[in-house]
Structure 1
Amino acid sequence: MKQKFKVGILDDDSSKITQIITMLLYGMLGASPEKKARYKDYELIPYEIKLQEDIQDIISEVFEQKLDCILIDYKLSSYAITDFTGVEIAKILGEEIYDFPIFILTSYEDDLFTKEIYNAYQVFDFDRYLTEPAERIELNCKIIEQILKSTKQREQWEKEIVKLLPLSGKSEEIDSRILELDNKLERSISGKYSISKKIKKDLNTNKLNELIDRIDDILGED
């Protein structure tokens, strides 16, 4: 059975959303035999995200739908009236969820790189994605790779924190690492509920035990 990854699509143009959905469903169609074999166990499931006036409402939908990745149109004002760009949403989402896979689709690459500061690795030309199979395959591969990378990182943190929990209180270094891991796990699982690192550092040993109980609850939800 294939592992399914839920990919959110945020765009103000419904026709473009339909086109992106089609490209995601094509998956590795036309890819080399090696790539088809490598990604045969994964399937991308498109999900349309409603464009809303408040960015936090959009962020909330990403959490509620438990999306694995999101594709965002750079210019969200072709048909809808918004006062923010896709990059602004991407940056806020990146602050909410640690290492969350985000990609920007744009037909205005020069404008994007002139006005914005963003990782070129995460930016793809929309027209090429639709018309060039190699570009479509590359982005679909990156989506899968970034989701797998994010999942693997979280699993490593979970293993480490489970190993350290019985040693809590043994040293300041161990307690500090537990707090650090907790911060990363919260931001990767449900970042909008995370407690700031500063507050956690102020916790005394007794309160650390309460924190450990809460960490156990978080890990038990997976």
Structure 2
Amino acid sequence: MYRVGFIDDQDKHVSKYQRRFKKLGIDLIYLEDALDYNGIVDWIFSEKLDAILIDYQLTPRYDFIGSRLVNYLNKKIFDFPCMLLTSYATDALNEELISESFILKKSDMQEGIEKISRKIIQNIKVFQKRLSLAEEEYREDFLKYKNNELDIQKIEELKEKYNVLKGYHLIEEYDWSAIDKEKDEELNEAVNKLDEILKKFEEIEVE
């Protein structure tokens, strides 16, 4: 059974959707609380969701519309299947934030729900495969990091990948605070060197 999150501004159709999806191998998890962006990311990880279905019109319950949330999640959780459910497909497409393949017609939640479920499951399978590859890449790069073979930019990319994989409990916990300390020390060292150079120029000018 695949676990798919569902975010909507109202819950009047939730039970009906849940019954229909369950017959098709999908456990639909409705978000009861109106959370902010960060809260929704935490909810995705805590519920171990495989994908998420988001209604386009989320206001006034939320302070944002569905397409903005999808855009945010796409940046925070790489390759996570975020699908937009809407009766306003043209409006969503005109925003140019979401590919057409991830925009689902709300009318299909009735007679076309089997088609929607197939698309959701297909996207989930792609995500799971990419997540597995990301885990392999992370473990390879982590060894390089331990051997001091990564620059600061690569380490930052490794940390971002770590946050997602940790959320899905695919990797071991690791304390990255030492990296932040190292960055601060490098910055302080650069500032001190600049101060020394400026001081020398000032001494030359005085002479």
TM-score tier, shorter chain, comes to: 0.5 to 0.7
- TM-score for the superposition, normalised by structure 1: 0.64
- Alignment partners' CA distance in 2, 1:112 and 1:6: 25
* Residues 135 and 165 in structure 2, CA contact (< 8 A), matched pair in contact too: no
- 3-state SS of 2:54 partner: strand
Residue 73 (1) aligns with residue 55 (2): yes
- Alignment partners' CA distance in 1, 2:113 and 2:46: 32
Matches within 5 A, 1:167-186: 168-169=147-148, 171=149, 177=154, 179-186=156-163
Output one character per residue of 1:201-222: Cα deviation in whole Å (capped at 9) or x when no partner. Answer: 93779xxxxxxxxxxxxxxxxx
Query: 98-107 or 46-55, which moves further after superposition?
Result: 46-55
1:90 to 40, 62, 70: 70
Q: Structure 1 residues 9, 103: CA separation in 2 closer, same or farther (over 3 Å shift)?
A: same
* Residues 176 and 201 in structure 1, CA contact (< 8 A), matched pair in contact too: no
Query: 180-189 or 8-17, which moves further after superposition?
Result: 180-189
**1:7 paired residue number:** 4
- TM-score for the superposition, normalised by structure 2: 0.67
Matched residue type, 2:85: L
2:141 to 161, 179, 195: 161
Unaligned runs of 5+ in 1: 28-42, 206-222
Output one character per residue of 1:86-145: Cα deviation in whole Å (capped at 9) or x when no partner. Answer: 111122222332222211111111122224521222111121242125523432332432
- How many pairs align? 178
* Residues 23 and 136 in structure 1, CA contact (< 8 A), matched pair in contact too: no
**1:19 paired residue number:** 16
**1:108 paired residue number:** 88
Percent identical: 22
* Residues 52 and 83 in structure 2, CA contact (< 8 A), matched pair in contact too: yes
Flag the structure with larger Rg: 2
- Alignment partners' CA distance in 1, 2:117 and 2:45: 27
- Alignment partners' CA distance in 2, 1:86 and 1:102: 10
* Residues 6 and 46 in structure 1, CA contact (< 8 A), matched pair in contact too: yes
Query: 4-13 or 51-60, which moves further after superposition?
Result: 51-60
**1:49 paired residue number:** 31
